[in-house]
Amino acid sequence: MNTALEVQGVGVRFGGVQALAEVSLALRPGEVCGLIGPNGAGKTTLFDVVSGIRRPDRGRVLLDGRDVTRRSPVWRARRGMRRTFQRQQLFGQLTVADNLLVAQEWRGGGRTRRATARERAATVLAECGLAPLADAYAAGLPVGRARMVELARALADPPRVLLLDEPASGMSAPERTVLADVVRRLAAEQGCAVLLVEHHVGFVMDLCTRVTVLDLGRVLAEGSPAEVRADRAVREAYLGRSG
């Protein structure tokens, strides 16, 4: 199987607490997968491992088949891995457009490069429905708009793997629709593999083709949204007995 991202037998322990135990998953290019589970299930810890913020006690992370377990977050980002966070990480004193330009600065300057970066930023802002806010300062944005700017910044330099940590948090229903449309196009047209953590279960089930459920640091279930909904253990541990 051609995979963009693989997690193989990852384990993380915090003192006497086993935060992750033998967690494995794989994403193909162009696939949108959801990661759900109760609070404390290990979702954010897994994201930290995948993005390089935390090194696992055991197991491996592979990006395009290459072992990146010991590589830094910057190294991974420059090879196509992008991530958003639960807590907003925008540069509040910069405009929306400048937030996207900053994400491209690592490629260097020069007149041609700067023009290309501005063109790319304008394209992404339009795709995310943010063009009217290009000159607005990020600090003054409502939560839903700020979330979309974070997504746009992650897309400013085209990703191969995109990790979205609760991207729909604080969004209105219309904003969630725009978010889902952007993610679907990114996967379908650019072949980006997307893994998202989200507590809005309906959003996950509608958007994702495959869902992994974590509970107490272990994979409880994995499959299509329909298979996960029908899983008795998932209903009892997370979705509720009524489903």
Does residue 8 register a pLDDT over 90? Answer: yes
Domain-located, residue 101: no
pLDDT at res. 240: 57
Whether the model clears a pTM of 0.75, i.e. scores above it, the answer is: yes
Q: What is the DSSP string of the chain?
A: ---SEEEEEEEEEETTEEEEEEEEEEE-TT-EEEEE-STTSSHHHHHHHHHTSS--SEEEEEETTEE-TTS-HHHHHTTTEEE--SS----TTSBHHHHHHHTTGGG--SHHHHHHHHHHHHHHHHHTT-GGGTTSBGGG--HHHHHHHHHHHHHHS--SEEEEESTTTT--HHHHHHHHHHHHHHHHHH--EEEEE-S-HHHHHHH-SEEEEEETTEEEEEE-HHHHHH-HHHIIIII-TT-
- What's the chain's average pLDDT? 91
Number of domains in the chain: 1
**pLDDT over threshold 90, residue 60:** yes
DSSP 120-139: HHHHHHHHTT-GGGTTSBGG
Within 10 angstroms of residue 98's Cβ, the number of other Cβ atoms is: 16
Domain contains 207: yes
Mean pLDDT of 161-173: 94
110-145: pLDDT as tens digits = 666 788 889 999 999 999 999 999 999 999 999 999
Considering the domain boundaries, does residue 210 fall inside one?
yes
Distance CA 63, CA 130 (A): 30
99 inside domain: no
Residues 16-32: tens digit of each pLDDT? 899 999 999 999 999 99
Is residue 238 within 8 Å of 42, Cβ to Cβ?
A: no
Question: Rounded to the nearest 5 degrees, what angle is found at the Cα of 158, between the Cα atoms of 138 and 111?
Answer: 75
Q: Which domain holds residue 221?
A: 5-89+158-239
CATH number of the CATH domain containing 42:
3.40.50.300
Is residue 124 situated within a structural domain? no
**Using one digit for the tens of pLDDT, what is the confidence trace for 71-111?**
999 999 999 999 998 877 888 889 999 999 998 877 766 66
CA dist 75 and 32 (Å) reads 23
Does a structural domain hold residue 213? yes
